[in-house]
Amino acid sequence: MTTPMFQFILNFPLDPVCTFANLVIGEGNHRAAEAVRLLVEQAVVPQVPSATVLTGEAGTGKTHLLQAAVCQCRVLAGEESAIYLHTTALRSQLRTNGEQDLTRFVDRHAGCRLVAVDDLESLENSPALQEGILYLFNRMRETGGHLLVAGQHSPQELAWLRPDLRSRLLWGAVLVLDPPEDEMLGAILAKMVEDRQVRCGPELLKFLQLRLPRRIPDYAAALDRLNEAGLELKRPLTVPLAKEVLGL
């Protein structure tokens, strides 16, 4: 594994918006969110359960919770205490010997207390990466650290997942996140507008919520595209502009 590859993993960016302070979730997901908060507090101390899995369809807030956990752990225990890894990006990096590559990576971060692994489904058809994540789990268990994993399905439902990795991921809790209701989607969209300091009136917000897919990543992408177009064209953000730019 080359140095640039290590740097890529080391510097995997966190979205500054993805913090516990900015978290907007539905009533049914408070238990999962509080469990992740508690996990972060405990992760600073060795000998906590070695894995927790977040499941739920796209747009339920899994990535936000993972990145918020990493961010908070770094606040409590230092910048090197937590790492966020996205398997979609890692898959193109760890092509042959996932265990060897992640061994070197983990060895460089012996004091790491929390590793957040996003997009469990990307492990499919990647034996090397599955082997690497298994090694990562074992190392976290040996050092008293914690592996926080997110995917759309529970490891128990993934027939292609190697049995030893599946069983280890199921040693800890599996927390299910429910899709947000309409009211909560509106609150999330409004929070995104506030965070991005975008001038977006109630009429446009209602239009976007009605026309966009009910997925938080689509909300974020649409707001970014719309804001960029408004700045470039020097036009206010309106329903006609949204129809023109987003094809709605």
Whole-number CA gyration radius for the chain? 19
| pLDDT of amino acid 101 | 65
- Position 152 pLDDT exceeds 90: yes
- Position 223 pLDDT exceeds 90: no
| pLDDT of amino acid 3 | 39
Task: For residue 137, give both structure tokens.
Answer: 């789990």
**What is this structure's pTM?**
0.74
Query: Edge to edge, what strands does the sheet with 82-86 contain?
Result: 82-86, 114-118, 146-151, 51-55, 173-176
**Which range is least confidently modeled, 76-80, 141-145, 154-158, 214-218?**
214-218
- Position 86 pLDDT exceeds 70: yes
Render pLDDT for 172-185 as a digit per residue (tens, 0 to 9): 889 998 877 777 77
- Position 77 pLDDT exceeds 80: yes
Domains along the sequence of the chain with CATH: 3-176 (3.40.50.300), 182-246 (1.10.8)
**More reliable by pLDDT, 28 or 53:** 53
CA–CA gap between residue 147 and residue 169 (Å, rounded): 9
| pLDDT of amino acid 175 | 92
**Which range is least confidently modeled, 27-31, 56-60, 65-69?**
27-31
* pLDDT, mean of residues 39-56: 76
| pLDDT of amino acid 155 | 94
**Which range is least confidently modeled, 2-16, 83-97, 212-226?**
2-16
* pLDDT, mean of residues 1-24: 59
**More reliable by pLDDT, 55 or 24:** 55
CA–CA gap between residue 185 and residue 195 (Å, rounded): 15
CA–CA gap between residue 28 and residue 70 (Å, rounded): 23
Tell me the pLDDT band of 150, cut-offs 50, 70 and 90: very high
Non-local (6+) Cβ contacts of 78 within 8 A are none
Is 129 buried (19+), middle (13-18) or exposed (0-12) by CB count in 10 A?
buried
Share of the chain above pLDDT 90, in %: 19
Share of the chain above pLDDT 70, in %: 83
Tell me the pLDDT band of 8, cut-offs 50, 70 and 90: very low
| pLDDT of amino acid 183 | 78
* pLDDT, mean of residues 79-99: 73
| pLDDT of amino acid 103 | 67
- Position 53 pLDDT exceeds 70: yes
